[in-house]
Chain A
Amino acid sequence: MAESVMRLRVNGREHHLVVSDEATLLEVLREQLHLHGTKDGCAVGSCGTCTVWLDGVPRLSCVTLAKTVEGRDVVTIEGLAGWWGRERPGEGAAAFHPLQTAAVEAGAVQCGFCTPGMLMAGAALLRDTPAPGREEIREALSGHLCRCTGYEQIIHAVELAAGRMGEATPDEA
């Protein structure tokens, strides 16, 4: 087991962590940084619950070795609202990303275990595709299993958030 110090930026904060070569990013986030919002549903990349952003791209932290992402930027569900706040300078800190609010309002949350991963993928979609169509949403979230909702209310949450985010930035259009 080779252990060494690595740098990792998580939710806007720089960390120096002692990490073994075989440690997964999920393990580092949950066990070392105690960011328990990122879930472990299958451990082998088949369910999507462990999804975080790596340099802004949704990635499965359970099948990513932490050492392979040394020095890069990670955002977890705990940091999504903070990221959103930083994205909109002058608007002040945000308690929620619009998708988080929409997810609650649309009934997209039942047991909540898939929710963090689902929202990280959904928020990335909304960032890259401001008014995604239904098929784009389904495609973007197709690696995320949910057993409670039957998915419809999750799709709707993304649509709801997209609508609001579109309304919120008319000046930039």
Chain B
Amino acid sequence: MKLEAPSSPSAVAVPNRIEGWAKVTGQALYADDVAWPNMAYGYLVRSPHAHARIVSVDLEAARSMPGVLAVLAGPGSTAPYGIMPSNQDEHALATGKVTYFGEPLLAIAAETLRTARAAARAVRVAYEPLAPVLKTGSQQKAAPQVREDAGDGNLHKAVDLEFGDVAAGLREAQFTRTDEFFFQGNNHLALEPHAVTAFWQPDGQLVLESSTQVPHYVQRSLARALGLPEHQIRVMVPTLGGGFGGKSELFPHEVAAALLSRSCGRPVRITLSREDVFYTHRGRHPVEMKVATGFDRQHRLQAMSFESRLDGGAYSSYGIASTYYTGALQPTTYQIGAYRFHGERWFTTKPPCGPKRGHGTTQPRALLEVHMDRVARDLGLDPIELRREILQPPFSVTVNQLDITTSGLAECLDAVERMSGWKERRGRLGKGRGLGFACSSYLSGAGLPIYWNPLPHSGARIAIGRDGGVQVACGITDIGQGANTVLAILAARSLGVALGRVRVTSADTGTTPVDLGSYSSRVTLMAGNALLTAAERMLDLLRQAAARHWQVPAQEIARDGEDFAVLGRDERAAWTEVARWAEADFGPLVTAGGYTPAPPRGRHKGSGVGPSPAYSFSACIAEVEVDELDGRLQVQRLYVAHDPGTPLNPQSVEGQIRGGVVMGLGEVLMEAQAFNPDGRHRGPHLLGYRIPTMLDVPEIEIAVVGQPDPNGPLGAKEVGQGPLNPVIPAVLNAVQDAVGIELHETPVTPDRILRALDAKRRRGNAR
């Protein structure tokens, strides 16, 4: 099956977003919009130092201000918490010392936000500044300890993997090359800043409405942080204004809102400012990387050694997973004879880094694809041809023990090559213009949960009401990617009913079965499979009821549209009628399904990161023009191919591809979560941290390719993250093609291009 999507959205006939009408009329309520009766406003006092000892805190003046309801100092949480079971190192509010600029240490609740802010000005905190720690590895020299609870030195974690004999592979290679690269960190920049309303009710139940991608993890971590039984906490997610990984764990403002609510007996809202979001961060790690490869005479990739050093910021967050991910997915695209990976994550006094769209795979993919391009250049080969010979085939096992099922990678290469006119146009575009290629792959959900357990990764429940309506309940969060709509589509298709019958309830730990959350591109595959199981069970009940009613064997029950009928007989009944028969027979109609991925093949330490039920594949060709006078890197057109298995909702598939591609474009052209030497963010606002506007985005031509995957619901794989990854190296490679400068870091801003061109000119003049 070839699923060639048209490049113009107009030709796509699709089911629309089920919540679309609410979002276009202003009716959709986001976390900062939900108004609770008698609500108070919370505010966090944050550190104005990157690294300092807290000498004293005086809260009296603030506490005595009229309208102030509560002023709390740290730690707030009764036990440290953290998303990774092995790294429980966070508290709601800093005590003892602060370890990044903007770290919260006090929480205030007041009648109004004005009063809360005034109270924040009235608290007195004395700090003893310490030297900031901004570099990693040996560049740290005699740096002070960032985390005093984390052993000696600032190395958070070092990991090593080796498959086969890499040293021998490199030694015996016909051709070797080494490249280094620094990938700058960046922020998710969801348009909606995080917000939460917490109400610690008088009956002891704690209810949160929070902008989170992971209500289950928030409930779980909060229970630990507050010493409460999990069932006393209910986490709900209102309409969520984008996540991209930035709302994927418990945050200080969520804990603080709960504590403030307990103190003042009222619901408390905390909304982060845009500045706060940059301090809360958990964005893409800055990574220094080095790759060495060895090729044999036939240009087969004999050996690869990959090293990465992550600048983690002040806390662990997802860091261990992030570190492993920088070495996990290189082999999913290329057959590698022997593969070695060394990864390190370092603590620094910066806002903690975490997962962002492409989690940990984006940075190494940038270097790997730039490296492959340079290898091809050195060998005098077409960069696409070089890759074509070594692609990891479908239904195969990678060198690092990952099971690949379907792969549309070869088709992705073909598609972008054809769409861009690569063969005819490359090298013939004229001065300052160039084409660059890259490809990549990504997970459709992680094979293992973040905390070990034998339970389903996703659960879904279907109920059919007496009204004939289909109620789907699942713990997933629609972060804007269209998850609720996909579930509605799957429910409608699997039950054979109109989309309008289906109502989806999600993201509420109090009413929906657990789904681990909207991260690692897992929702469509995992929740979709869980839902299909529930739907099969439901259909079975309905068939049984119909068979009993008509007194025929169940296998003679057929469907005609929504109706049920008997094969070869003139009997038929409407959906709702059959549902009522079934309710009469079995009681209220409820079925459930769960999904747990097959256990991963690898048994080595670190084998938990990388396995997935299915991998998506992508390729990109960037067409650029570099203006040598003003340094502007004009990306004129992007050609993108992606293999998402079966595209369940073509409109959403297209939207996810475009959104991911443009996010990648922002990362390579302009985005940087960068810091001054004193640890201050260079510009924690949208003029200092710039993302592309409509005028900065070129035409993007898209091909959707691939086969239905046996592990995906109706054959679907992921699309939310993968298409971002190839864009960055494709642009970097195109710049080299256009003006012959090798770039060694992101982002490629016009000032950097001018400097590089100037240096190149001077080298030229010197010769």
A105 to B663, CA, bound (A): 23
Q: Which of B20-28, B375-383, B618-626, B741-749 faces chain A?
A: B20-28
Chain B residue numbers with a CB within 8 Å of A156 are 8-10
**In chain A, residues 57-106, which have Cβ atoms closer than 8 Å to a Cβ of chain B?**
76-78, 80-81, 96, 100-101, 103-106
Instruction: Write out, one digit per residue, whether chain B residues 9-37 have a CB within 8 A of any chain A CB (1) or not (0).
Output: 11010101101111111111110110100
Q: Say yes or no for B520: interface residue by CB 8 A criterion.
A: no
A26 to B685, CA, bound (A): 19
Q: Say yes or no for B191: interface residue by CB 8 A criterion.
A: yes
What are the 7 tightest A-B residue pairs by CB atom distance, in nearest-first order?
A37-B26, A111-B480, A112-B23, A150-B658, A113-B241, A104-B20, A150-B662
- Nearest B residue (CB) for A152: B658
Q: Say yes or no for A129: interface residue by CB 8 A criterion.
A: no
A160 to B685, CA, bound (A): 34
- Are B24 and A40 touching (Cβ within 8 A)? no
A141 to B651, CA, bound (A): 22
Chain B residue numbers with a CB within 8 Å of A100 are 21, 24-25
- Are A111 and B700 touching (Cβ within 8 A)? no
Partner of B26 from A116, A146, A151, A155 at Cβ < 8 Å: A116
Chain B residue numbers with a CB within 8 Å of A43 are 273-274
A143 to B482, CA, bound (A): 25
| B24 CB, min distance to chain A CBs, angstroms | 4
| B631 CB, min distance to chain A CBs, angstroms | 21
Q: Say yes or no for A165: interface residue by CB 8 A criterion.
A: no
A143 to B33, CA, bound (A): 23
Q: A40-B32, A144-B694, A156-B10 are in contact. Are A107 and B652 (CB under 8 A)?
A: yes
Chain B residue numbers with a CB within 8 Å of A143 are 693
Which of the listed residues A76, A81, A141, A148 has the most CB atoms from chain B within 10 Å of its own CB?
Answer: A148
A142 to B415, CA, bound (A): 31
Q: Say yes or no for B639: interface residue by CB 8 A criterion.
A: no
Q: Say yes or no for A13: interface residue by CB 8 A criterion.
A: no
Q: A150-B661, A160-B10 are in contact. Are A145 and B24 (CB under 8 A)?
A: no
- Are B659 and A110 touching (Cβ within 8 A)? yes
A144 to B191, CA, bound (A): 10
- Are A110 and B481 touching (Cβ within 8 A)? yes
| A28 CB, min distance to chain B CBs, angstroms | 14
Q: What would 21 A/B residue contacts be, using CB atoms closer than 8 Å?
A: A30-B33, A36-B32, A36-B33, A41-B191, A42-B685, A44-B274, A107-B16, A111-B192, A111-B480, A113-B30, A113-B190, A115-B24, A116-B26, A119-B24, A146-B694, A148-B191, A148-B659, A150-B661, A150-B662, A150-B700, A156-B9
- Nearest A residue (CB) for B658: A150
- Nearest B residue (CB) for A107: B651
| A68 CB, min distance to chain B CBs, angstroms | 20
Q: A42-B274, A145-B191, A151-B697 are in contact. Are A78 and B659 (CB under 8 A)?
A: no
- Nearest A residue (CB) for B651: A107
Q: Say yes or no for A138: interface residue by CB 8 A criterion.
A: yes
Chain A residue numbers with a CB within 8 Å of B28 are 112
- Nearest B residue (CB) for A27: B113
Q: Say yes or no for B189: interface residue by CB 8 A criterion.
A: yes
A149 to B23, CA, bound (A): 14
- Are B480 and A142 touching (Cβ within 8 A)? no
Which of the listed residues A42, A49, A113, A144 has the most CB atoms from chain B within 10 Å of its own CB?
Answer: A113
Q: Say yes or no for B602: interface residue by CB 8 A criterion.
A: no
Q: A104-B17, A112-B241, A149-B655 are in contact. Are A34 and B35 (CB under 8 A)?
A: yes
Q: Say yes or no for B654: interface residue by CB 8 A criterion.
A: yes
* Number of A residues, CB within 8 Å of B: 56
- Are A148 and B26 touching (Cβ within 8 A)? no
Chain A residue numbers with a CB within 8 Å of B480 are 110-113, 148
Q: Say yes or no for A114: interface residue by CB 8 A criterion.
A: yes
Chain A residue numbers with a CB within 8 Å of B655 are 107, 110, 148-150, 153
Q: A37-B25, A109-B23, A141-B694 are in contact. Are A152 and B700 (CB under 8 A)?
A: yes
Q: Say yes or no for B716: interface residue by CB 8 A criterion.
A: no
| B695 CB, min distance to chain A CBs, angstroms | 5
Chain A residue numbers with a CB within 8 Å of B190 are 111, 113, 147
Instruction: Write out, one digit per residue, whether chain B residues 648-690 have a CB within 8 A of any chain A CB (1) or not (0).
Output: 0001101101111111000000000000000000000111000
Chain B residue numbers with a CB within 8 Å of A44 are 274, 685-687
Chain B residue numbers with a CB within 8 Å of A109 are 17, 20, 23-24
Q: Say yes or no for B223: interface residue by CB 8 A criterion.
A: no
| A148 CB, min distance to chain B CBs, angstroms | 5
- Are B242 and A96 touching (Cβ within 8 A)? no
| B555 CB, min distance to chain A CBs, angstroms | 40
| B484 CB, min distance to chain A CBs, angstroms | 12
A119 to B23, CA, bound (A): 11
| A20 CB, min distance to chain B CBs, angstroms | 9
- Are A151 and B662 touching (Cβ within 8 A)? yes
- Are A107 and B687 touching (Cβ within 8 A)? no
- Are A103 and B20 touching (Cβ within 8 A)? yes
- Nearest B residue (CB) for A37: B26
